[in-house]
Structure 1
Amino acid sequence: MLFRKTKSRELDYSDFQISNSKMLELYKAMLKPRMIEEKMLILLRQGKVSKWFSGIGQEAISIGVTEAMKKDEYILPMHRNLGVFTARNIPLNRLFAQWQGKASGFTKGRDRSFHFGTQEYKIVGMISHLGPQMGVADGIALAHKLRNENLLTAVFTGEGGTSEGDFHEALNIASVWDLPVLFCIENNGYGLSTPTPEQYRCNDLADRGVGYGIESHIIDGNNILEVYSRIFEIAESIRENPRPVLVEFKTFRMRGHEEASGTKYVPQELMDEWQKKDPIINFQNYLFEKGVLDDEQLDQFRQDITSEINENLEKAFNEPMIQSTETDELSNVFQEFKYQSLEPQFENENIRYIDAVSQALRSSMERHENLVLMGQDIADYGGVFKITEGFIDQFGKDRIRNTPICESAIVGTAMGLSINGMKAMVEMQFSDFVSSGFNPIVNYLAKVNYRWDQNADVVIRMPCGGGVGAGPFHSQTNEAWFTKVPGLKVVYPAFPYDAKGLLNTAFNDPNPVLFFEHKALYRSIRQDVPVDYYTLPFGKASRIREGSEVSIITYGAGVHWAINTLDEMDYQNADLIDLRSLQPLDTDCICESVIRTGKAIILTEDSLFGSLASEIAAIISENCFESLDAPVMRVGSLETPVPFAENLEKQYLPQERFRKKLQDLIEY
């Protein structure tokens, strides 16, 4: 517990000219999270909270940064930044309810501790994968910059987190785009149990700013007046001259990574040294020394905070355990989207698949003035497939943005744009490269609405597929990586008409959409397509041919392979289903077809094990078993990477195997 032991102090506050009233305000702001933490540690031992990540000894950083910022500026804190939440005056009963998994918390019991955000208080909490929030901060700041709002965004990480690739990608993006981001590193000595000499070899983490052309500073993270004064000046400067700034706060973690970890790995002399630098005791003694604080005031502060804590704890404890239904849980995975069907006029033009994609992009940019397109080489060059050629002439470089080669942070940036009220598209130059951005897609975009009702208004375009001799790293069709992740929508059109209408819908939908475009179809498939704007619904398959003897279920290039095979066989009795939308999946259409024909074959370009074809086969077996006249058959590519040589790739792809299996199924 805090009390006035001695007048001695280790920290120097003499260089900072701050009013007495502001100093008292800063002291009370630091005292509040410290007293909450002391109470939480008691409750943890009593089993009334499940886990705690302590920020004791680091309060000056959270309070100093938050107090130096405007209330309408976003802060992205970590799990030791309780002071950010209290300084933004979040009601304590809601914080306590959050930590107990109660309904009045911020995640409806779906996530814990500080893994939440709140638009009301302009706070965006972390996820356990620390790095993505750095890119998210870039996106929030980019939205401010595009709207000329002269606001900055602050994002926190620890010294351990600076080893993650996302940290470096985010710094590079912020530097190249002059984004108003304050990158705050809390260097507290240990990443869990790993000391800093085993984390990095530069003298100071602030030195990393030099490599990215970023201004950097080192601040004593235990000195509240230094933190507040210097961050206030830096923040004012960023608002006037938008740019990223890196700040390393030197501090120490006085308790374990989380309470169960303990601190046995820390030398006692190091603990003793930093205990003398406690930010609250030192500042408290300084205020006593200056006559700004006395015992009566201190007692009153503590009584007021204690009363507030106890009163709000009682509210949280008295709140019943959260209840939910399967319907409630499932309905919160996505933000509600009311599809609006916009029918085309009668004028058509015969265009290629690639032209349809380009037209949808252009019309959606015209329709949504807050939409930003991002991707490698998509601006002046027009992208490697020339889909955005000429776009910067119409929309400008602010909205058509070349990106550095950093897929992960760019996906994070797209998420940040959505948080700050904009729409974003990320073009993966090839769908294979999405593996470098996998984490923020499946762990941030997919989960964010379920966790705290924040949608991810992001479309990720995925040029994909084989048959073009591009080898293992430019030929994958990796839709199955994402169809199993709740919170993602996955679309895979086979024709120009569908590509244009579905891509328009993707930009209207406020949820994350992965839009797969088969490269081999770009310039080989033509179709009459409406000239004007129209939409098509997700979750609705298309019947390409109608028949009564066998159901062929496929998507993407597989549709054209099936058409060619049926034509070559001169077979007229196949019910050919083009799924178009893989998530949501039109199971009604699949089952109706199979029940009517009694036979089913699923064709995918993907290798079979763990593919969407396997899932569809299971759906058919479970729901249509009594109607089946033959085993459900699946056809896919070989269980190998995609080979380069033409004859090897031909052997890899499933066309020939499909013809044989289809014949076997017909004759069964």
Structure 2
Amino acid sequence: MRYHIGQLDKELLVDLYEGMLKPRMIEEKMLILLRQGKISKWFSGMGQEAISVGVAKSLKSEEYILPMHRNLGVFTTRNIPLSRLFAQWQGKASGFTQGRDRSFHFGSQEHKIVGMISHLGPQLGVADGIALADLLRRKKRVTAVFTGEGATSEGDFHEALNVASVWNLPVLFCIENNGYGLSTPTNEQYNCKNLADRAKGYGMESRVIDGNNILEVYTKVSELCQALRKRPRPVLLEFKTFRMRGHEEASGTKYVPEKLMKKWAKKDPISNFETFLLDKKLLTEEKIKALRQRISQEIEENLKKAFDEPEVSPNTNKEIQGVYKTYNPEHIAPKPKKKRIRLVDAISEGLEQSMYRHNELIIMGQDIAEYGGVFKITEDFTSKFGKSRVRNTPICESAIVSAAMGLSINGMKAIVEMQFADFVSSGFNPIVNYLAKVHYRWGEKADVVIRMPCGGGVGAGPFHSQTNEAWFTKTPGLKVVYPAFPQDAKGLLAASINDPNPVMFFEHKALYRSVYGEVSEEYFTIPLGEASLLREGNDISIVSFGAGVHWAMEILDLHSEIKADLIDLRSLQPLDSETIFNSVRKTGKLIILVEDTLFGSVASDISAMVMENCFEHLDAPVRRVGSLETPVPFAKKLEENFLPKKRFERVLLDLVKY
């Protein structure tokens, strides 16, 4: 292996050697502990240390780096305390996830490290968001993100590269091409010579680097970092290396030809560099021995701290409270001055006032800039806030949701507009597995609002008509808001934007331009989790939200003899269950109306909750009314038959008579 020292001094060369030796020695110790049953799992990076250390040493301490599970050298180079690392791997409370997650699935703002999730792909988009925040603030910084050659087949990889290229984001996309995705060799994963060649399709620069040569990694990445700080742009780096251990230790390496293992063993980044330093008289056997003793002592001392720490003790309240970031919302009451506007105008006004209130609030979505979005909610926003804050995106929902997470990590607020709520399925993974879980896992906020134009009644068919709130109310960590009136929409949207937790904000398309209301002109908020009692009566309790509230009012207007409590939930998560329970205890009857199909809907959960908490107060069975168990049809009469409005009237009358 050829090493070119160039202008690198002796101190740096030895530092690079020590930087690789430390993670190698930790790994060797971990493999012993694994065999002894003292840790549960291990993903080895042996043979790949030059990449982790070389890249981490090239970045400044204030620049974010997003590693994977074979990048122990990133964590040690960033001086993560070993006692906390070891506690993390043992599931102890002093670990970064307090026993809630394992391995390297954590981040540390102090060390500017953002760890991976097992789904791999989203972290590439997160890097885009982090870099975007730096770019908007004119900070001359680089973000580095790691992935393996296997994950380059995921859609998130291609989406993230495309976004970074279109927006000229200073991101180093680092592919560790180590020969195998678990047991699948590279020739069964992709059909090109170099993965770096894919950069051409995105208008990006790329480099192929010997991932086992620490000096090549360090010098080339350092040069690129200096260039990207001066002229921001993404670069795709393919590090050629090899995985000397199994995907994880239990999988072994029997699927790897012995000849190939021997070939790469000769390219070991540490032993080769050590020989080079000895030959150049830059290091001696005595110094190596002393260095190994010092590292070994550090490992043993910190292992003892981790082992001496007791097993994590579960605290149910603490676990539940850890799902969301706690904060004290500033409630701003609405002022008396109002004007009569549509729901769509109230949402637009709420967005605009929030953009003025939060200087680092970014809106992203398809066609939202000059075009103003398909529903014209952000029309003229670019003239007021500029295209840097009101950003058209490529059609890549997953990468944009991930980028919103990156903006949040780097201290900004983000709003993502789904063109239609149906399309959120293309961004489902980062919502339910990243945004929803990030605070519970390592205490990081997800300051993101995802706007969801939803609902039927407009003849849009199966792919533009779903009301899919139940996809998200099931997921701990997400908040779900669903207003039915203009005043509520404006105040709840402002509160959602202020909330540092991820909020799915549903906006019914059929209500956009059909529902008017008196709306306070100035900025105000309505707290999340508080239902609205629209009408009062003793005959029956009606619970609904969104379009269902308006259907219920229409039916009640046709039957003035029915005196009902009509509850508009407004927030589905958190849910104002006490308002529901108090009403049921008064009336003794409950009907729940949703536009969603019934099985697995919010109505099912509310019904179960009432049965568990108010059974002795019920004078009749709880009834649920929802849409047919079919996709949403296109033809008008079919859609009318699908929607539950007419069925609601029949069930309501039957229940009142019960």
Mapped partners of 1:13, 1:346: distance in 2: 74
Percent of aligned positions that are identical:
69
* TM-score, L = length of structure 1: 0.98
* TM-score, L = length of structure 2: 1.00
Mapped partners of 1:479, 1:338: distance in 2: 26
Report matched runs for 1:573-584 at 5 Å: 573-584=563-574
Q: In the alignment, which residue of structure 2 is the partner of 1:651?
A: 641
Query: Aligned pair count?
Result: 658
Q: In the alignment, which residue of structure 2 is the partner of 1:237?
A: 227
Report matched runs for 1:336-375 at 5 Å: 336-375=326-365
Q: Is residue 2:4 matched to residue 1:39?
A: no
Mapped partners of 1:14, 1:317: distance in 2: 43
Q: In the alignment, which residue of structure 1 is the partner of 2:239?
A: 249
Aligned to 2:387, the other structure's residue is in SS state coil
Q: In the alignment, which residue of structure 2 is the partner of 1:548?
A: 538
Mapped partners of 2:84, 2:483: distance in 1: 45
Q: Deviations over 1:327-353 (max 9, x none)?
A: 100111000121222112211100000
C-alpha displacement of 1:373: 0.3
2:420 to 430, 433, 436: 430
- Paired AA for residue 551 in structure 2: W
Aligned to 2:73, the other structure's residue is in SS state helix
C-alpha displacement of 1:324: 3.0
Q: In the alignment, which residue of structure 2 is the partner of 1:7?
A: none
Mapped partners of 1:145, 1:271: distance in 2: 43
Q: In the alignment, which residue of structure 1 is the partner of 2:58?
A: 68
Q: Is residue 2:386 matched to residue 1:399?
A: no
Q: Is residue 2:324 matched to residue 1:334?
A: yes
Aligned to 1:121, the other structure's residue is in SS state coil
1:454 to 441, 444, 454: 444
Instruction: Give the ranges of 4+ consecutive aligned residues of structure 1 lying more than 2 Å apart after TM superposition.
Output: 14-17, 569-572
Runs of 5+ consecutive residues of structure 2 not aligned to the other structure: none
Aligned to 1:307, the other structure's residue is in SS state helix
Mapped partners of 1:93, 1:14: distance in 2: 36
C-alpha displacement of 1:196: 0.3
Mapped partners of 1:548, 1:444: distance in 2: 44
- Paired AA for residue 74 in structure 2: V
Report matched runs for 1:140-159 at 5 Å: 140-159=130-149
Q: In the alignment, which residue of structure 1 is the partner of 2:174?
A: 184
Mapped partners of 1:625, 1:249: distance in 2: 63
2:201 to 197, 205, 211: 211
Aligned to 1:369, the other structure's residue is in SS state coil
C-alpha displacement of 1:203: 1.1
C-alpha displacement of 1:571: 3.4
Runs of 5+ consecutive residues of structure 1 not aligned to the other structure: 1-10
Aligned to 2:567, the other structure's residue is in SS state strand
Report matched runs for 1:130-149 at 5 Å: 130-149=120-139
C-alpha displacement of 1:92: 0.6
- Paired AA for residue 78 in structure 1: M
Q: Is residue 2:409 matched to residue 1:419?
A: yes
- RMSD across aligned positions (CA): 0.7
Q: In the alignment, which residue of structure 1 is the partner of 2:150?
A: 160
Q: Is residue 2:12 matched to residue 1:22?
A: yes
Mapped partners of 1:94, 1:625: distance in 2: 49
Mapped partners of 2:371, 2:626: distance in 1: 35
- Paired AA for residue 345 in structure 2: D
Report matched runs for 1:304-343 at 5 Å: 304-343=294-333
Q: Is residue 2:613 matched to residue 1:613?
A: no
CA contact 2:54–2:217 (8 Å) conserved in 1: yes
- Paired AA for residue 560 in structure 2: D
CA contact 2:50–2:269 (8 Å) conserved in 1: yes
Q: Is residue 2:215 matched to residue 1:225?
A: yes
Q: Is residue 2:184 matched to residue 1:194?
A: yes
Q: In the alignment, which residue of structure 2 is the partner of 1:6?
A: none
Report matched runs for 1:577-616 at 5 Å: 577-616=567-606
CA contact 2:143–2:171 (8 Å) conserved in 1: yes
C-alpha displacement of 1:514: 0.3
Mapped partners of 1:35, 1:111: distance in 2: 24
Mapped partners of 2:327, 2:455: distance in 1: 30
- Paired AA for residue 619 in structure 2: D
C-alpha displacement of 1:574: 1.0
Mapped partners of 1:345, 1:85: distance in 2: 51
Q: In the alignment, which residue of structure 1 is the partner of 2:275?
A: 285
CA contact 2:539–2:562 (8 Å) conserved in 1: no
Q: In the alignment, which residue of structure 2 is the partner of 1:116?
A: 106
Mapped partners of 1:26, 1:267: distance in 2: 31
Mapped partners of 2:365, 2:561: distance in 1: 44
Mapped partners of 1:429, 1:377: distance in 2: 8
Q: Deviations over 1:201-250 (max 9, x none)?
A: 01100001000001000000000000000000001000000000000000
Aligned to 2:110, the other structure's residue is in SS state helix
Report matched runs for 1:525-544 at 5 Å: 525-544=515-534
Q: In the alignment, which residue of structure 2 is the partner of 1:519?
A: 509
Q: Is residue 2:497 matched to residue 1:504?
A: no
